[in-house]
A and B are shown apart, each in its own frame.
Chain A
């Protein structure tokens, strides 16, 4: 069995269709307001006058993000009940029978992964479709992606296969939690002044 399961995300291929988001909601029967996988639409650049002409450096890319099942999960470290725990294969799960719904994990996670479920009074988040993994299947988001921009595998093998992993905007410094995600950056991901264009869709999780 793999020791550190991780997602692979190809930002250069993602069209931003949000099928992964819907597949996750469907598989986990998530209520309105619960989005364990979110797609961030990043854009930037503008028009600049060069002599008598106008030139543009407009760019846009997408970033599909769920729980990254971090090597050093800040949520599990700070959870007072130990409801958040890590499986041997690296999947970070929530034990609903222990969770008190204090939402401290929501505060601390820099990826906005744990989300409060008002119906159960407890936290929920992506568990990498652990039941599917145990059956030898892929998570629902991976199989649903029409662009094949998402994949899953052992973190080290994914790094070897796809080269280095770039933690592009708007992700935080990966030294904080060592996230288990390998990203192929969009070629324009290093452009200055990027911003998230669909804040109203993704910011509620903060």
Chain B
């Protein structure tokens, strides 16, 4: 992985976190009306939509760091007819505008039904952005990226990071959900962690067989292989911790719920970053 790819690691993860937050807010607003969901609206800094907007802005700024000549950046929209990268940049703009519209609506209207529709529209814009992101890596000359794993891992990161943010929002009082919903979301988080472990394993088996162009197999050894094992360990540990946290939190040593919650959070975030680093490190091109 090149040093410049770090900006892409943070761009993709932060934008997927942003989309994940809006997606879960929209789903909860649709399926859990009434008293089971409440959060600040308008321009409040603890409005989760404001936080999602802040995240996508930071993600976009981060993406500029991998450009050799950022002063020409306005040209990036020149090839909407042919380039998925151009379309991705357009999708970011549409998503940002939809978030701003949602915040404006919350500032000037108390209509919860209109807010639900606006959240749905924003999450749709976010899903379109996610799809564009996946398409950017669907390159026929790079078999390691042009596979089922890219949409699956980007989608799983979006759902996982969004869920994690929502659970933290709930923990810190930014969003209020009832306890039954919280347990349901936590079980879903466990399921996503399992899917991430299983899909990473199948992808690794596929990568280890790859030897095209001038390179032989490179993914079955060295730092790449070690990082894959490390990430699998982190995901499995996080899964076990979440499971114990739901079933019997008193069994956790020290009996400090906060510490274990933050440990889980740190572990899952570290696993997401490692997963994305592995994704960029798995760049493997056909030819010379």
List residues of A whose CB falls within 8 A of some B CB: 38, 40, 65, 74, 77-83, 97-104, 107-112, 116-118, 120-123, 170-173, 176, 195-196, 199, 202-203, 206
Contacts and interface: CB of A to CB of B under 8 A. Distances in A.
Contact of A110 (B73, B82, B85, B288): B288
A173 B67 CA distance: 30
Contact of B72 (A78, A81, A111, A170): A81
Interface string B60-84: 0000001111101101111100111
B142 interface: yes
B233 interface: no
Given A82-B79, A99-B72, A108 B141 contact: yes
Interface string B113-142: 000000000000000000000000001111
B142 A100 contact: no
Nearest to B89: A80
Given A80-B89, A111-B288, A203 B214 contact: yes
A109 B83 contact: no
B72 A107 contact: no
The bracket for how many chain B residues form the interface is 20 to 34
Contact of B287 (A116, A122, A171): A171
Nearest to B216: A195
Contacts of B286: 110, 172-173, 176
Contact of B82 (A78, A107, A170, A173): A78
Select the residue from B67, B72, B84, B288 with max chain A CB neighbours within 10 A.
Answer: B288
B67 A102 contact: yes
6 contacts: A74-B141, A80-B76, A80-B85, A103-B4, A110-B287, A172-B141
A92 B259 CA distance: 58
A80 B83 contact: yes
B83 to A, nearest CB: 5
A98 B78 contact: yes
A81 B68 contact: no
B148 interface: no
Contacts of B4: 103
B285 interface: yes
Given A65-B288, A104-B85, A202-B214, A97 B72 contact: yes
A104 B63 CA distance: 13
B287 A79 contact: no
B258 to A, nearest CB: 42
Given A81-B75, A100-B72, A107 B283 contact: yes
B213 interface: yes
Given A78-B85, A82-B78, A100 B73 contact: yes
Given A80-B77, A107-B142, A172-B141, 11 more contacts: A80-B75, A98-B72, A100-B76, A102-B66, A102-B67, A102-B76, A110-B285, A110-B286, A118-B68, A171-B287, A202-B288
Contacts of B75: 80-83, 98, 100
A108 B139 contact: yes
A172 B68 contact: no
Contacts of B84: 78
Contacts of A196: 214, 288
